[in-house]
Amino acid sequence: MQKTKIAAEVMMQPKGGPAGLQGKWELFVKDMKRDKNLYVLLAPYMLLFLLFTVLPVIISIFFSFTYFNMLEFPTWVGWDNYAKLLWNDDVFLIGLKNTLIFAVITGPVSYIACFVFAWLINELNPKVRAFMTLVFFAPSISGNVFFIWQIIFSSDSYGIMNGFLMKIGIIYEPIQWLQDPQYMMAIIIVVQLWLSLGTSFLAFIAGLQTVDRTLYEAGAVDGVRNRWQELWFITLPSMRPQLMFGAVIQITSSLAVADVAMALAGFPSVQYGAHTIVTHLVDYGTIRFEMGYASAIATVLFVLMLGSNLIVQKLLKRVGE
Amino acid sequence: MKLAIRLKRRVNRSWQVDLMLFLVLGVFGAFMAVPLIYVINNAFKPLDELFIFPPTLFVRNATLENFADLFQVMKNSWVPFSRYIFNTVFITAAGTAGHILLASAAAYPLAKHKFRGHKLLFTVIVLSLMFSPHVTAIPNYMIMSTIGWIDSYQAVIIPAFAYPLGLYLMKQFMEQIPDALVEAAKIDGASEYRIFWQIVMPLVKPAWLTLLILMMQMLWGTDGGSFIYSEQLKTMHYAMGQIIQGGIARAGVGAAVAVIMMSVPIVTFVLSQSNVIQTMASSGMKD
């Protein structure tokens, strides 16, 4: 079962039976009639899902091959937008580089943090556990409270960080944290990590609570000597489904860094120090209204997100096999 | 459906490592909590305390000045402030209710029946978890302007109905309902609609609360994005953003705003935590 690939599932169809085309069609109609109530239940959600998620992806891919400004009729330009993106748009390449840096750092770190904190919290007694879950989860549901980091890293001496560092005498002049590309990325990464203990973190907490307790006792009898071995041989393999779900959530959000970057470093940021693929998309899509070009950016982002997710899923399926 | 009751286990634990690990947890817990504690304290600081050098974390003489100032600012807003509150509450309530209803209705056939296309549909849902809404933002704007929904509530509410994560979690949770229960109802002559509404829905209450938290997190904090332009339709988040941008003099008011905005999702989570955890236990990706 574990080896079944998602792509393979797309291909799979219910068995048509031995009869010919005629028979298959009759069987199809019969099935549809039998299940019509189920399709009725599915229809409202699926129609909206098609309209607001599936169709947009198709539209985006289509328009990425056109020049379109929302006023004139779109004209077909072939691969021009992609060629321009990769060879003539230095700002996009900065955005791509920053996005990959963010993703490579915040993706794995947040994923491991979600698991490690969930694992530690799981050792506590239920009341403390509920409290600590709230402490770690709260930032991710607090909406735009991350603006507080702007005050913490404020460029004058009233900023907490500057005030603190000046008081203990490490620096004598306030540092322009969010205007200096040297610090910008690091600060956004910290804030992004602060916000990243969300859905996957809860999934891990929940997953840990459902690991069969008797496995640990059986493990102890079979020679599991400490908590690290317990983690590696019992806990992690039992949690593979949650780990795979968490990976999807963390990868997708780590490639979509934009809101925090725009709120903290400004838009556009100094020397494009915090420019990402998504901020580039916002620039072309909502300010310059170059929809064809913006669609190409969105398509690149789509391929990047889907591709890295599918690769990581494949790798995670191999763990422990 | 209930989580197994956790038994105390003492195997393979040493108190030295326990202590070390809990210190780690404490340090990072402080990192998570301090910014929020700071905002909450700032909301109660009088003006002179907000600008002390070096800045302090905790409030000394707590005051409600900032909240009073906030109401003053609200009174002077262009559109009555109650309008912004209404917009946010309406968008959140309608979007969440519609999402729970539609996602559950679609999750039931996917979780409990094998019909033509069920694998394909679920695969598409899983694939859609693998990219963020940023990818679809531009075409969604085009679609909204084609169907004439720009600058309306429904531009924000209706797409929320079909948010994929909710359907995914609901379907995974529904799979735990014993097939025998559904079969028995069918033998008794109940229609699929009745089975869904009277048997399945009451059993998945924990999942409703989870979808509620997810939607709330999204809709409570929405500023209308690129879809809403009229002042009358704008949300509280947008109005609060304007107040915060009022500059350094409004630092205290800004903190008061933040406390009000964050308290609603946090309180909701506190009240529903055990149900949410119960739902997330079934979130795993099986294949």
pLDDT tens readout for residues A94-147: 999 999 999 999 999 999 999 999 999 988 888 899 999 999 999 998 877 888
The Cα–Cα gap between B233 and B231 comes to 5
Neighbour tally for B86: CB within 10 Å: 14
Q: Residue A298 is which amino acid? A: A
Task: Measure in Å the smallest separation between the Cα of A210 and chain B Cα atoms.
Answer: 7
**Averaged pLDDT score across all residues of chain A:** 87
Task: Measure in Å the smallest separation between the Cα of A309 and chain B Cα atoms.
Answer: 6
Compare CB distances from A285 to B9, B137, B196 and report the shortest one's residue: B137
- A287-295: average pLDDT: 91
State residue A178's pLDDT score.
Answer: 86
- Which residues have CB under 8 Å from B157's CB, separation 6+? B91, B94, B95, B98
The Cα–Cα gap between A301 and A278 comes to 8
- Per the CB < 8 A criterion, the answer to whether A274 and A146 are in contact is no
* Chain B residues with beta carbon closer than 8 angstroms to that of A143: 217, 220-221, 237, 261-262, 265
Q: Residue A127 is which amino acid? A: K
pLDDT above 70 for A11: no
State residue B10's pLDDT score.
Answer: 55
- Per the CB < 8 A criterion, the answer to whether A40 and B131 are in contact is no
* Chain A residues with beta carbon closer than 8 angstroms to that of B139: 55-57, 59-60, 63, 295, 298
* Chosen from A81, A245, A248 to mutate, greatest number of chain B CBs within 10 A: A245
The Cα–Cα gap between A163 and B283 comes to 44
Tokens at A95, concatenated = 């955005």
State residue B247's pLDDT score.
Answer: 60
State pLDDT tens for residues B91-129: 999 999 999 999 999 999 999 999 999 999 999 999 999
- pLDDT-derived band at B50 (thresholds 50, 70, 90) equals confident
B164/A165: higher pLDDT: B164
Task: Measure in Å the smallest separation between the Cα of B123 and chain A Cα atoms.
Answer: 7
List where CATH 1.10.3720.10 sits in chain B: 74-280
The Cα–Cα gap between B99 and B107 comes to 11
Alpha carbon separation from B209 to A265, B91, B274 (Å, rounded): 35, 17, 10
Kindly report which listed range (A45-54, A140-149, A252-261, A283-292) carries the lowest average pLDDT score. A140-149
State pLDDT tens for residues A184-217: 899 999 999 999 999 999 999 999 988 888 888 8
Its CATH class, for the domain covering A79-318, is mainly alpha
Record the pTM: 0.88
What's the CA dihedral at B165, B192, B182, A26 to 10 degrees? -100
- pLDDT-derived band at B6 (thresholds 50, 70, 90) equals very low
Sign of torsion, CA A229 A249 B273 B258?
positive
* Chain B residues with beta carbon closer than 8 angstroms to that of A149: 35
State residue B108's pLDDT score.
Answer: 95
- Per the CB < 8 A criterion, the answer to whether B215 and B167 are in contact is no
Interchain proximity B258–A148, CB inside 8 Å:
yes
- Per the CB < 8 A criterion, the answer to whether B12 and A227 are in contact is yes
If DSSP states are collapsed to H, E and C, what string results for chain A? CCCCCHHHHHHCCCCCCCCCHHHHHHHHHHHHHHCHHHHHHHHHHHHHHHHHHHHHHHHHHHHCCEECCCCCCCEECCCHHHHHHHHHCHHHHHHHHHHHHHHHHHHHHHHHHHHHHHHHHHCCCHHHHHHHHHHHHHHHHCHHHHHHHHHHCCCCCCCHHHHHHHHCCCCCCCCCCCCCHHHHHHHHHHHHHHCCCCHHHHHHHHHHHHCCHHHHHHHHHCCCCCHHHHHHHHHHHHCHHHHHHHHHHHHHHHCCCCHHHHHHHCCCCHHHCCCCHHHHHHHHHHHCCCHHHHHHHHHHHHHHHHHHHHHHHHHHHHCCC
Neighbour tally for A6: CB within 10 Å: 18
pLDDT above 70 for A6: no
pLDDT more than 70, % of chain A? 93
**Averaged pLDDT score across all residues of chain B:** 86
- Phi, psi (5° rounding) for residue B121? -60, -45
ipTM > 0.90, yes or no: no
Q: How many CB pairs under 8 A join A and B?
A: 327
- A12-16: average pLDDT: 49
Compare CB distances from B28 to A117, A220, A242 and report the shortest one's residue: A117
| Closest of A275, A274, A282 to residue A298, by C-alpha | A282
Query: Exposed e or buried b for every residue in A160-186, given b needs 16+ CB within 10 A?
Result: bbbbebbeeeeeeebbbbbeeeebbbe
For chain A, domain boundaries: 16-63, 79-318
pLDDT above 60 for A321: no
Tokens 């009869």 sit on residue: A19
- pLDDT-derived band at A166 (thresholds 50, 70, 90) equals confident
- A253-268: average pLDDT: 87
The Cα–Cα gap between B163 and B158 comes to 10
* Chain B residues with beta carbon closer than 8 angstroms to that of A147: 244, 254, 258
The Cα–Cα gap between A296 and A82 comes to 6
User: Is 1.10.3720.10 the CATH classification of the domain at B74-280?
Assistant: yes
DSSP β-bridge partners for residue B32: none
State residue A182's pLDDT score.
Answer: 84
Sign of torsion, CA B58 B59 B64 B67?
negative
